[in-house]
Structure 1
Amino acid sequence: MTTPDVDDHAPLLSIIIPTFNEAANIAPLVDAVGAALGAIAWEMIVVDDDSPDHTFDVVAAVGRTHPNVRCIRRVGRRGLASAVIEGALAANGDVVAVMDADFQHDETRLPVMYRTLIDQDADLVVATRYGRGGGVGDWDPTRVAISDLATRMGRMLIGDATTDPMSGFFMVRRAVLAASVYDLSLQGYKILLDIISSSPRRLRIAEVPYIFRGRREGESKIGPMVFAEFLFLLIEKLSRGLIPPRFVLFCIVGGLGLGIHLVILNGLGLLGFGFLPSQISAIAGAMLFNYVLNNEFTYRDKRLTGVNAVVGAFAFAIVCSIGALANVGVAELAIRQTDNWSIAGIAGAVMGAVFNFGAATSLIWGRRAKRRRKAAA
């Protein structure tokens, strides 16, 4: 069998661009990256989460004149971390760069990062805002403080491996990702922290400074959930996977639901309603509240809409009702064994929470994925 000739134009560098509503930035970014990289053979893989502004169509149009640009359009799933890994697994280059589409990451640093990775035989090059020569641009004091706090928390997980563990701009050897892909959390936006903490060996990390720029087009994706997902990533990694981040958020929602339950119960009592109708109304209100928040936040990557959302609400109520029975059953067993109300109550609550989480994840927010897998088979 003859060995095929090596394509001189095969990409050395694959650039992964996770996107959501970045249509206006795609064409300028492709031109800017091409100008920056010069003779370095590269490809760009845009991983788009089914953007309402049809970013995927713009990428397809650009790809007709730039064969090294392609798009992975994801339908029914979301998240920057998983988008990055999906793009990296489809990459042809031995080196993978990750950057945003909005020009906040300085594309002119790409060739410097590539040369640093090769010359220093590094596994990973981090574009840092906090090394000498780097900066955060025109951030306000509040954002600077939040970033500083997140950086300190990130170092709890990886120590002093890098000055900027929260950077979303980095370059890594594809083999490094392949070695840790099954251990990645894929939670939230901080994929660099996930990669470093999940590696089976200590990585050789180099840094290149850059100055963070303002967004050119579109709207920022930064919000409370970004920081919350970062906290969940820390919890999962520090617990070595024993505590799933989604379960943490599910329990937080449950705690808020308890507050809603008490507000409705006592409010109806003040209005003169009896305990039983007030309790039933409070249970229904808390269940609906919990379902809406879980659908919007806990399972936002599997969010139910339309008729599925209505069906899901009824299914959630059934699951929670069965969970309540499990709660009572375990609490009754515990009180017989310990004769301690507090221990029995906690045991019942934990059982109810675990049952509700497992059943909801599998039966409510897992139904569509199972149908897709069945159809594909």
Structure 2
Amino acid sequence: MLTTNDYQLLSEVTGALQVPTAVKPPLGRAEKTAGAIAPVHFSLVVPTYNESRNIERIVALLSQRLDAVLPDRYEIVVVDDNSPDGTWQLAQALLVHYPCLRVMRRQEERGLSTAVIRGWQAARGDVLGVIDGDLQHPPEVLEQLLSAIEQGADLALASRNADGGGVSTWSAARRFLSRGAQLLGLVLLPGVLSRVSDPMSGYFLVRRSAIAGRSLHPLGYKILLEVLGRGAIDRITEVGYVFQEREAGESKVTWKQYRDYIRHLVRLRVSLGRLSRFRQALDFPIGRFIRFGFVGLSGLVVDMGLLYLLHGTLGFGLTRSAIVAAELAIINNFVWNDRWTFSDLTQQQQKRHQVIKRFIKFNLICLMGLILKVLLLNVLFNGLHLNPYVANFLAIAAVTLWNFWINLKLSWRVTQVK
């Protein structure tokens, strides 16, 4: 009878962070004893660190789900960063009960992103996946993700921002940081992050062929950025899910991870931008930008006309009149942009809640543009001592480009998903 000691840990993978085209790792003692093994189709990596209170439950839930859809054709690869709480030992003890479970203990490296890649390097499946080990990613979504891959997707993403998705009890500050990080990513890497609605998701499946042989250089904990940026990803499907608060253990989200995320964006921008900058410049939607400019001029007319009416004719206070005039001008701009500038995109997003979301985003971006204009005006006038009218013109031009590009990539974005 096999005991826990008969079930060996996977050897720690080192060297280049590059997923092989195919892999057949050496069989451990228990695997040899068990005899022939069916070909593995799907390999799901669970990176862990101090998840002793969750590891048994997550393995049980995943096994139950995958046994129903891929009996004997999947593997769960737990990659533990030598947790002080002994997560890897508890996972090893589970090998007796779960024949599709494999465990790697990393003692040389640390970090979620590299743990995922090391797990993929040791995996045997044609389809590779990742899920958190803290039960914040619902295992029941796996069946939909697998179905999407079977229907031809290169990447199947569990998204908090797709239909049916959301977060459970996030604070306003955490929501703000998440959206701010996504907006920063859209500014630095619009061609990568605009492809999906939730580029910060850590729950997805990808075809091995889409990333095999490609050198990956992750930094921090957002491995999806590397997959989107460096992989051969054509078709993407998203499945909405509700992000749950962890039931046990402590959150690992720290300011260091936000810092690493920014560094990762910059690194990808540099490595991917040498050839893509020129291509993106050629692909700039000139016609759409011209329409956006005309709409902006109409908003200026509305703003000035209402300010004259409210303050100059009706005698309302200047500040109150300016605020009302500015907001009505924004509404005017939104309506015309929605029906004219981005009409081809709005046809795919006609639900009421989608229109409301676009309007809120448009308002916030315009507000940010106003703040940016004031800052630029001060830098150009007070710092560079330009003529005030020239400085104002340059600031307006820069902010117009800002408003157009960010609205295109965020407010009227149609992600490349099924």
- 1:47 aligned to 79, 84, 87, which one? 79
Out of 213, 217, 223, the residue aligned to residue 254 of structure 2 is: 223
- Please give the alpha-carbon distance, in whole angstroms, between the structure 1 residues aligned to 2:103 and 2:233: 32
1:79 maps to a residue whose letter is: G
* Residues in 1 aligned to 2:69 and 2:167: alpha-carbon distance in whole angstroms: 30
Query: What does the per-residue CA deviation read over 1:82-134, in whole Å, with 9 as the maximum and x for residues that have no partner?
Result: 10000001111111110100100010000110011111x11101100001110
Supply the distance in 2 between the matched residues of 1:241 and 1:202 (Cα, whole angstroms): 15
In the aligned structure 2, how far is the partner of 1:79 from the partner of 1:45?
A: 16
Q: Is the 8 A contact 2:193 2:199 kept in 1?
A: no
* Distance apart, 1:238 and its partner CA: 0.9
Q: Which amino acid aligns with 1:82?
A: T
- State whether structure 2 residue 173 is matched by structure 1 residue 142: yes
Tell me which of 134, 159, 162 is aligned to 1:131. Answer: 162
How many angstroms does 1:145 deviate by? Answer: 0.7
The answer as to 2:136 corresponding to 1:86 is: no
Q: Which residue number corresponds to residue 176 of structure 1?
A: 210
Q: Distance in 1 between matches of 2:149 and 2:46?
A: 20
Aligned residues, how many?
A: 234
How far did residue 150 of structure 1 move? Answer: 1.3
1:8 is displaced (CA, Å) by: 7.4
Q: 1:211 aligns with which of 242, 249, 257?
A: 242
- Verify the 8 A CA contact 2:211 2:230 in the aligned structure 1: no
Displacement after TM superposition at 1:202 (Å): 4.5
- Provide the residue aligned with 1:77 in structure 2: 109
Q: Deviations over 1:243-294 (max 9, x none)?
A: xxxxxxxxxxxxxxxxxxxxxxxxxxxxxxxxxxxxxxxxxxxxxxxxxxxx
Q: Which amino acid aligns with 1:144?
A: R
For residue 178 of structure 1, report the CA deviation from its aligned partner: 1.2
Cα shift at 1:241: 7.4
Tell me, yes or no, if structure 1 residue 57 matches structure 2 residue 86: no
Equivalent-residue separation in structure 2 for 1:203 and 1:217 (angstroms) = 37
Q: Equivalent residue for 1:163?
A: 197
Instruction: Give the one of 3, 10, 32 matched to 2:61.
Output: 32
Aligned partner letter, 1:169 = Y
Q: Indicate if the aligned counterparts of 2:210 and 2:233 stay in contact, CA closer than 8 A.
A: no
Which is worse superposed, 38-47 or 148-157?
148-157
Residue 154 of structure 1: how far off its partner (Å): 2.5
CA distance in 2, matches of 1:116, 1:241: 28
Q: By how many angstroms is 1:30 displaced?
A: 1.2
* 1:9 alignment partner AA: A
- Secondary structure of 1:215's partner? coil
1:10 paired residue number: 39
Counterpart mapping for 1:317-332 below 5 A = none
Counting only pairs closer than 5 Å after superposition, residues 170-319 of structure 1 correspond to structure 2 as: 170-180=204-214, 182=215, 184-199=216-231, 201-240=232-271
In structure 1, give the amino acid aligned to 2:69: A
**1:112 is aligned with what amino acid?**
Q
Check conservation: 1:154, 1:193, Cα contact below 8 A: no
CA distance in structure 2 between the aligned counterparts of 1:159 and 1:222, rounded to whole angstroms: 21
Question: Secondary structure at 1:24's aligned position in 2?
Answer: coil
Please state how far the C-alpha of 1:68 moved relative to its aligned partner: 1.1
Q: Which residue of 1 aligns with 2:49?
A: 20
Q: CA separation in 1, counterparts of 2:59 and 2:38?
A: 17
- SS across alignment from 1:239: helix
What is the RMSD computed on CA atoms of the aligned residues?
A: 1.9
- Secondary structure of the corresponding residue to residue 132 of structure 2: coil
Match of 2:130 in 1: 98
Matching residue's letter, 1:205 = I
Structure showing greater radius of gyration is 2
* Structure 2: distance between partners of 1:239 and 1:155: 15
Deviations 1:203-234 (A, max 9, x none): 31111110001112111110001100000001
Identity %: 37
TM-score normalised by structure 2 residue count? 0.54
Asked if 1 retains the 8 angstrom alpha-carbon contact of 2:156 and 2:205, the reply is yes
Alpha-carbon distance in 1 for matches of 2:75, 2:260: 30
Unaligned 5+ runs, structure 2: 1-35, 274-418
